[in-house]
Structure 1
């Protein structure tokens, strides 16, 4: 399937962070293939690469199953430290727990929530490290695939492992030093999903994703800004 002009096989995503059954894997694959057909350009970061779609799957499973039924696959977690730190920082937040209560057991609503969460969080991270070449180098494959062969590697090179460790440390530090801003990001995301739910009476149906484009545009224009001075306002 062509995503951002690159042929990506969504049937070959990265290994999941969470323990997942074969039926759940197949369910997500069916849902995400239908979603990608709608080409949500407002969610270009969340749906940019196999790495970002794999993160969407992590959040989808957490929202779909609920926090009490989640088990981290420690072997996979070691392979994807950047995905892991993003997943941990978001799922530990109170707003995520509220969303999980609303979406538990609802496969489609969980997917919509997961896509929006990944989109907003990756957008924040990308902006925070736009001027940090060292960290950006490790993060860039989340946003755009520059070397599909490199993405297919079963294990990272030593240089990549060092870069990932630097990025993980930087993300953790950035969130800790800007905890109010990060909390505001999750709060705005939580409010947006409430707004989306109110706007779409059939949110739980994938066909409703067709109508998300205008809603996302209105939200970005009215409430979301990249101006760091007013972002948390």
Structure 2
């Protein structure tokens, strides 16, 4: 499958940040495959690279199974410090926990929540860093890297990559800390939007006599309410 002109193997995403079983890996692939085929520009940041899709999987698992039932793979976490810091900052937030209560055990609803949530978070980070050239370039390097060797614990990560990771992690932590109220507001608005989204999708699927939620139905609602705020034709560090 090609995403943004780059071939993407869904069986070769980044190594799991969380301890998962094979059935959960296969379930995620069944959810992500048709979603990518829809080519949702409304969620282009969340669905643009193997790195961002790996983050979608992290959030999906936390929403589907419950954060308290998951364990961090410490070995893999060292490879992906940005994934780890974003996962921890978001899943510890009260509004994420409230979303998880609504989606617990529902693989489709959890998936929709995860995609939209990550889209909004990456858009917020993009907006925060767009005028900071050092951080923006670091994020571009990290999110546009496609070399499989970066996932290999036996191959040393390049100095350039390590520096970019350090810059990005420090910047993300600083932005969230210094703008804690704004970040909390972002999650609160996302929570409210997802509640609205859930109601609209449910109405539409009842009309279609189809009980299975899908990103196909979500696309129109996202486009109607959030197209100007959360999509862009400009290049981004994830696209």
- Same structural fold, with TM-score higher than 0.5 when normalized by the shorter chain: yes
Within a 5 Å distance, the mapping from 1:70-219 to structure 2 comes to 70-140=70-140, 145=144, 147-148=145-146, 150=147, 152-153=149-150, 154=152, 156-201=157-202, 202=205, 205-206=212-213, 208-219=214-225
Any conservation in 1 of the 2:17–2:72 contact (CA below 8 Å)? yes
Distance in 1 (CA, whole Å) between partners of 2:157 and 2:42 is 30
Structure 2: which 5+ runs fail to align?
233-239
The answer to whether structure 1 residue 7 and structure 2 residue 1 are counterparts is no
Matched residue SS, 2:11: helix
Distance in 1 (CA, whole Å) between partners of 2:42 and 2:215 is 12
Deviates further, 66-75 or 45-54? 66-75
Matched residue SS, 1:79: coil
Q: CA RMSD in A?
A: 2.1
Structure 1: which 5+ runs fail to align?
227-233
CA 1:166–1:222: 2 relative to 1, 3 Å = closer
Q: Offset at 1:222? A: 8.2
Deviates further, 213-222 or 67-76? 213-222
Give the TM-score of the pair, scaled to structure 1: 0.88
Give the TM-score of the pair, scaled to structure 2: 0.86
Distance in 2 (CA, whole Å) between partners of 1:197 and 1:163 is 37
Which structure would you say has the larger RCO, counting Cα contacts within 8 Å and 6 or more residues apart?
2
Q: Offset at 1:30? A: 1.3
CA 1:67–1:12: 2 relative to 1, 3 Å = same
Distance in 2 (CA, whole Å) between partners of 1:141 and 1:22 is 31
User: What is the aligned residue count?
Assistant: 222
Deviation sequence 1:180-232 (CA, Å, 0-9, x none): 111111111101100101101149724x3212222112221587699xxxxxx
After superposing on structure 2, the runs of 4+ consecutive aligned residues of structure 1 that deviate more than 3 Å are 221-226
Deviates further, 195-204 or 217-226? 217-226
CA 1:152–1:117: 2 relative to 1, 3 Å = farther
CA 1:53–1:222: 2 relative to 1, 3 Å = closer
Any conservation in 1 of the 2:142–2:165 contact (CA below 8 Å)? no
Within a 5 Å distance, the mapping from 1:5-84 to structure 2 comes to 5-84=5-84
